Structure 1
Amino acid sequence: MTVTRERPGRGASPRTARAINDRLALRLLQEEGPLTAGQLKELTGMSRPSVADLVERLQVSGLIEVVGESGEDRRGPNARVYGIVAHRAYVAGLDVRVGSIGVEIADLLGRTVARSSVRVPEGADPAGVVESGLRVLGEARRAAGDVPLHTVACGAPGLIDPATGRLRPAGLLPRWHADLVDEVRHRLRVPVLLENEVNLAAVAEQRIRAARGADEGDTFVLLWIGGGVGAGVVLDGRLRRGNSGGAGEVGYLPVSRSGDLPNAADCDDGYHGLVASEAVCALAAANGFAPDPAGDAAAAASMVRAALTAGPAGTAFLSELALRIAIGAAAVCAVLDPGRVVLAGEIGEAGGERLAVLVGERLATLSPLRTDVVPTAVEGGAILRGAVITAMEAAQETLFAPAG
C-alpha cells in the first residue's frame, strides 16, 4: 500500500498543518486498518507529542476510537489500538440501469450493511419507476436500521454534463434516470453525486488493482460488455471523463457487421450492435446454442458461460466474439495506448480468463501496440461498488477535515 504524504508547506498555519496531518492519519487507518499511536508515529514521521495530540483531537471529534490493545510482547501495559468510527456516517450507492435499480448502503469504511434491488419492466411508466427507485432505497435504509445517509452516489448510463452535473441520456436511453436522481436529491436533502455507470465500474476496478500494488491501477481502459457497451478510461491514476463527459462512449464507434453507421440517436449500427447482449445472443444461436428470446445481459452471459465447456461449437462462438471485442479494443488502443484492457460487464465477466486470452490474441493481430487483456478483478456488482467508493470518499473528505 502506497500512501501519499501531504506535507504542510512553509508558512502553513497551525490549523492547516493539523488538518493535513489528521487526514493523513485517517487515511492510514482506513487503508491499513487499526493502528497504535506508535505505528502512526512510524508511518507519518510525526513526533510522539504530535501524534498524541492528533489521537486526542480525532477522538474528541468522534472520528476514531479505541478498538483493542496490541499483543506486543513487552514490559508494561499493551498499547491501545485505534480505529475509525465506521458508524459515524453511512453512504448509499445506486446503480440505475435500463432494466433495474440497485441500492447498497455502507458504513464510512465502505462495508456493506444492506442491499436491495428492483426490476424495471420495458415500457414502464416513468413516474412509477421513479417511485420504485425511491421505495427500494427506503427498503435498503430500513434493512440497515434506518440509518441517516451522509452522501449518495448514483451511476447511470448517459453523459454527465461537466458544467451542470446533470445527466443527459444518450441515444434511445430512457429519460427517467435523470428524474430519479433529481428526486433523490430533493427528498433526502443530502449530497447526491452522479457519474456514468461504467466510470463507476472503473473506479471499483482501480481501487482493487491499486491495492495489489505495482502500479496496476495507474493506467487502463475498462471495456464494459453487457446489455450496453462502454469504456471507463483511467490514465495516470485519474478517471478521464472528456470535454462533454462522453469519454468512453465506445458503443458509437463506427464499426458494424452490416457496414452501416451509427447516428447520434442510435448506436445499434455501431460497436454496440456488434458486441452488446442482443448481438451476443444472436451469435450464440448461429453457433447452435438454444436462442434466448430475452436477449438481455443475463441471457448473453449465460450463453458465454455455456460456451466455455461446449466443445467445438463453443470454441467457434468464443473465437468470433473475441474478434468482435478486439475490433473495438484496437480502436481504443490506437488512440490511448493504455497498455492494459480490462474486460468487464456481464459478458466480459462471464468469459473470464479464457475470453480475455482470446481477445488478447486477436488484438495482437490487429494492433502493433503491446496491450495486456485481462478479466475484471471485481466479482459482481462493480457499478454499485464504485458508487459506494465514490460516496464514501466524498463523505470522508468532509468528515476527515476536523476543525481546530
Structure 2
Amino acid sequence: MPASPSTARAINDRLALRFLQQEGPLTAGQLKQLTGLSRPTVADLVDRLTAAGLITVVGESGEQRRGPNARLYGIVADRAHLAALDVRTGGVSVLVSDLLGGVLAEASVPIRGDTGTGPAVEQAVTLVERAAKEAGAASLHTVGVGAPGLIDPATGELRDSSGLPEWHRRLVTALQERLPARVIVENETNLAALAEQREGAARDRDTFVLLWLGHGTGAAVVLDGALRRGASGGTGEIGFLPVPGTTALPSATDCEGGFHSLVGAAAIAELARTYGLSIDGQADGPAAAALVRRAVRAVAGRGAEDDRDAGAGGDIGGGGDAVPDEDTASAFLDALAGRLAIGAASVTAVLDPGCVVLGGEVGQAGGRVLAARVQERLVRMSPLPTEVRASALGGGAVLRGALLTARDGAQDDLFAPPAR
C-alpha cells in the first residue's frame, strides 16, 4: 500500500534532516543530490522545515554564486537543549549541549559515600540545573543518563543492583519531577559502546564487544549494529563471570570471585604491588589507569602514541610521574594482559564478535601496547580470529554516549511526523 501524501512528506523531511545533521549545512541542490528527490519536492520540504523552525539559512555556497540556489541550510542548533549525565558511585558529571551536540557547559560534583540519599540526589539535580543555566538553556528537552546497574528492558528503569547507593535509583525520578524534560537512562557500559561505535575505536565495526575497564568491570555487546541487552537487561555483566585465578566463585549478589576480581581497579592495584608498584590513594579507575599508563611509558617511551589520557590521577610508588623500569613494566603488562585475555576468550567463544575493544580509563591508558598483548594471548586461546583494540574515548565514553542517546531521542521527537 503506497504511503499517504502526509506520510511521504514526513519521510522526506526526516531524510533531509538526517543529511543536514550528518553532512552539515547544505544547499537545496545538494539535498536533491543526496536524497534523490525531485527539485520541487526538495523546495517544498525546505519551506516546511524552515517554517517549523527546524532549519534556517546559515550562509551561501561558492564565491561567485548568489541567490536562492546558493543558500546553505542548517539545522537550528538551539531549537532544543540536551543534557548528559555520567553517574558514578563517587559523583556525577554533566554536560549540556545544543541539538547538534555542541557542548555549551560542563560540570561535575563529588558525592561522598556517607552522604544521605536525599542530599546526594539534591546535589546531582542542582548540578544539572546549574549547568543548564550556565549554558543559557531556558529548559532541557531530553536528558540522557548513564549509570551502573541493570536497566529493565521492558520499562527502561534502573533496577536494584547490589553494591550501588540508593541515590542512583532515586536520581532518575527526581530529574523527571524537577525538569520539564524527557529522561532516558541506560547502562554506562552500553553507552560507552555506543560512543565507541559512533565516534571511537569501533567506527568501522557493526559487531564487536566492549570490555569496560575502570573502577569496575562490564561488557557491552553490539551485534549487526544493534546493542543487545538480554532478557533481563543483564547482557554484559561479565564481572560475575566465573574464571580461573580467583579464590572463590561469584554469587548472585556479589561479583567477588568473578572476572571483576581479576581486572577491576582494586585487582589491578594488587597485581601491581606484586611487581613492586603501588598507587597512592584510592584504587579507583583513574588511579589504575595512571598505573597502566606509566607502565606503557616505560615499555614504549614517554612520547608513545598510546599515552593519550593525561588527565587521570594516581601515582606509582608515591613518585608522581615516576616510571618503572622496562622489565618490571613489561612483566606487569603481560600479567594484566593474561587476565584480560581470559575474559576476552570467554566472550569470543560464545559470540564470535571479531573485535574486542578495551574500554574505560584502563583500556585507553593501555593503548595499543596492552591491546597487542591481549590479542597475542587471545590468538593462542581461541581459534576464532579476533582483533583487540584500545578505547579511543576512555572514561569520557559514557558521557559522550549519554549525549548521543539524548540527541537521538530529541531528534526523533522533533523530526517526527505530525499527528494525524
Q: TM-score scaled to structure 1, two decimals? A: 0.93
Question: Runs of 5+ in structure 2 lacking a partner?
Answer: 299-323
The answer to whether the 8 A contact 1:151-1:191 is kept is yes
> Hey, what does 2:303 align to over in structure 1?
none
Cα separation, partners in 2 of 1:257 and 1:361, compared to 1, 3 Å: same
SS in 2 for 1:59: helix
Counterpart residue identity of residue 368, structure 1: P
Matched, 1:242 2:230: yes
> Hey, what does 2:329 align to over in structure 1?
314
> Hey, what does 1:232 align to over in structure 2?
220
Matches of 1:74 and 1:127 in 2, distance apart?
61
Matched, 1:17 2:32: no
Matches of 2:254 and 2:193 in 1, distance apart?
24
The answer to whether the 8 A contact 2:248-2:256 is kept is no
> Hey, what does 1:6 align to over in structure 2?
none
> Hey, what does 2:373 align to over in structure 1?
358
Matched, 1:374 2:389: yes
SS in 2 for 1:170: coil
> Hey, what does 2:353 align to over in structure 1?
338
SS in 2 for 1:168: coil
Cα separation, partners in 2 of 1:346 and 1:169, compared to 1, 3 Å: farther
SS in 2 for 1:392: helix
Matches of 1:80 and 1:292 in 2, distance apart?
58
The answer to whether the 8 A contact 1:22-1:401 is kept is no
The answer to whether the 8 A contact 1:100-1:118 is kept is yes
Matched, 1:164 2:164: no
Moved more, 127-136 or 60-69: 127-136
The answer to whether the 8 A contact 1:157-1:169 is kept is no
Measured after TM superposition, the shift of residue 54 of structure 1 is 0.5
SS in 2 for 1:104: strand
Deviation per residue, 1:281-316 (Å, 9 max, x gap): 111111111343411111111111111113111101
Matches of 2:354 and 2:260 in 1, distance apart?
23
> Hey, what does 1:399 align to over in structure 2?
414
Measured after TM superposition, the shift of residue 79 of structure 1 is 0.8
Cα separation, partners in 2 of 1:116 and 1:270, compared to 1, 3 Å: same
* Aligned equivalent of 1:282, options 264, 270, 274: 270
Measured after TM superposition, the shift of residue 146 of structure 1 is 3.8
Cα separation, partners in 2 of 1:299 and 1:76, compared to 1, 3 Å: closer
The answer to whether the 8 A contact 2:142-2:407 is kept is yes
> Hey, what does 1:4 align to over in structure 2?
none
Question: Runs of 5+ in structure 1 lacking a partner?
Answer: 1-9
Measured after TM superposition, the shift of residue 269 of structure 1 is 1.1
The answer to whether the 8 A contact 2:269-2:278 is kept is no
Matches of 1:102 and 1:247 in 2, distance apart?
25
Number of aligned pairs?
A: 392
Give RMSD over aligned pairs: 1.7
Q: TM-score scaled to structure 2, two decimals? A: 0.90
Moved more, 284-293 or 360-369: 284-293
Moved more, 48-57 or 163-172: 163-172
Cα separation, partners in 2 of 1:90 and 1:75, compared to 1, 3 Å: closer
Matches of 1:58 and 1:315 in 2, distance apart?
58
Measured after TM superposition, the shift of residue 259 of structure 1 is 3.8
Cα separation, partners in 2 of 1:76 and 1:295, compared to 1, 3 Å: closer
> Hey, what does 1:28 align to over in structure 2?
19
Matches of 2:144 and 2:358 in 1, distance apart?
24
The answer to whether the 8 A contact 1:256-1:273 is kept is no
Deviation per residue, 1:219-258 (Å, 9 max, x gap): 1111101101001111100011111000000000011523
User: What are the residue-to-residue correspondences of 1:152-231 with 2, within 5 Å?
Assistant: 152-208=143-199, 216-231=204-219
Cα separation, partners in 2 of 1:11 and 1:400, compared to 1, 3 Å: same
The answer to whether the 8 A contact 1:207-1:217 is kept is no
> Hey, what does 1:79 align to over in structure 2?
70
Cα separation, partners in 2 of 1:172 and 1:77, compared to 1, 3 Å: closer
* Aligned equivalent of 1:88, options 74, 79, 98: 79
Measured after TM superposition, the shift of residue 170 of structure 1 is 2.3
SS in 1 for 2:141: strand
> Hey, what does 1:113 align to over in structure 2?
104
Matches of 1:75 and 1:152 in 2, distance apart?
40
